[in-house]
Amino acid sequence: MFQALVLLFFLWGVISSAWAQAEDFPSRFEAATQAAQSGDYQMALERLEALKADFPDHLAVRNNLAATLMQLEQYDRAQQELEAALAEIPQVRVLRENLAQVYAYQSQQAYQAVFDTELRQPDPKWELSAQTEMQTVENRSLRQLEQAMQTVVNRTESWRKAWAGQNLQAYLNYYVSDFLPDDHKTHQAWVANREASLSRPEFIRITLSDIQAIPLGHQSIQVSFDQAYQSDFFRDQVRKKLIWHLKENGQWRIALEEVINVSQ
């Protein structure tokens, strides 16, 4: 029991220390930034090295540390810092730009003795906010995909509301202009069928549950769900999928609607 309490207090101390460090990060980052902006690069270096020790994976800290080393003309160390960060995440633009400047300066040094040219000092780029999210190409693509999936899920709910509200034109606008399911010979025949289905009942109630979105490509997302339909003369429960396509006008529209399973 005593050992368990000791372990519990130890773990709580570790967690509390981590929380305190995380809460203190913005002020420490700002202090390092202010030191660099005031020209006290040695102080900025000390603060950034301490930050890196506590937050070794934070890209803004690693970039600013390299930028400070460049200002102190410690180009070899700056190169090591940038190359190490880019070896793990090679798509971060500001890291690549700073490393390119280091390489360019080193090339100038190599040719200066031969051509007697004037050295141009690098102009390192800092990240000035502790909240800056230095996204990689992959991270941006993932976020864009997540946003697209959420947009399509929201569109699915709006589609349901238009259907349940028996708003024919709004409902039809969720489909591609040439939408044609397998059980209809023409798009016009399908439109006529949907007009009758929406206008004939006194009421329509639709609920969707267990909604799942799956990307099929950059411009195609499948949404599947359980659909419970009820009107004054018909009801059913089905598992359905909609495949949404991103059209030229930037709108997601339904290109396929299919019942996967009918509940007994």
- Domains of the chain and any CATH numbers: 2-134 (1.25.40.10), 139-262 (3.10.450.50)
pLDDT score recorded for residue 87? 76
Nearest to 77 by CA among 110, 25, 112, 41: 41
User: Is 150 within 8 Å of 239 (Cβ atoms)?
Assistant: no
| pLDDT at residue 208 in the model | 97
pLDDT at 23: 59
Query: Residue 189: what pLDDT?
Result: 95
Nearest to 193 by CA among 181, 206, 209, 208: 181
- Least Cα distance to 162 among 127, 130, 121, 194 occurs for 194
pLDDT in single tens digits along all 264 residues of the chain: 434 333 333 333 433 333 344 557 788 888 888 888 889 999 989 998 998 888 887 888 888 888 888 889 888 888 888 888 777 665 567 777 877 877 777 767 665 555 555 666 777 776 655 555 544 445 556 667 788 889 999 999 999 999 999 999 999 999 999 999 988 999 999 999 999 999 999 999 999 999 999 888 778 999 999 999 999 989 999 999 999 999 877 899 999 999 988 875
Structure tokens at 23: 């809460």
What CA–CA distance (Å, rounded) separates 191 from 175?
11
Which of 18, 52, 46, 10 minimizes the C-alpha distance to 31?
46
**pLDDT for the residue 6:** 34
pLDDT, position 259? 93
State residue 110's pLDDT score: 61
Output the pTM of the full model.
0.52
**Residue 13: per-residue pLDDT:** 40
Q: Which tokens in the block code for residue 159?
A: 């589609």
* CA atoms within 13 Å, Cβ hemisphere of 19: 6
pLDDT for the residue numbered 223: 94
